[in-house]
Amino acid sequence: MSQLRFTAHALEEMQRRGIAREQVEAVLSQREQILLGRNRRTIYQSRIRFDGEKQYLLRVFVDETISPSVVITVYRTSKIQKYWRMS
């Protein structure tokens, strides 16, 4: 994604949850999965390790129906199996 905006909510949640912008951009450019979410939002997700420790699923919710695309929210979860989709 060449052009991308972040909502204030997404930036606040990234800071609160200790998620760096670089990690979000890495998921967007090298995602492992793309899912369709509610309200036609796209969910990009990848498994990553935070601080070299436990593996988490980083999920990035993007509204691509507008230009430039907007990151709505971001979070990490240890419940990988809950959200991971097998092909």
Q: What is the pLDDT of residue 2?
A: 64
Q: How far apart are CA 1 and CA 60, in angstroms?
A: 13
28-31 CB contacts, 8 Å cutoff, 24+ apart: 28/1, 28/4, 28/60, 28/62, 29/1
Q: Give the percent of the chain with pLDDT over 90.
A: 86
Is the confidence at residue 32, as pLDDT, over 90? yes
Q: What is the mean pLDDT of the chain?
A: 93
* Predicted TM-score (pTM) of this structure: 0.91
Is the confidence at residue 50, as pLDDT, over 90? no
Is the confidence at residue 12, as pLDDT, over 90? yes
Three-class secondary structure of residue 79 per DSSP: coil
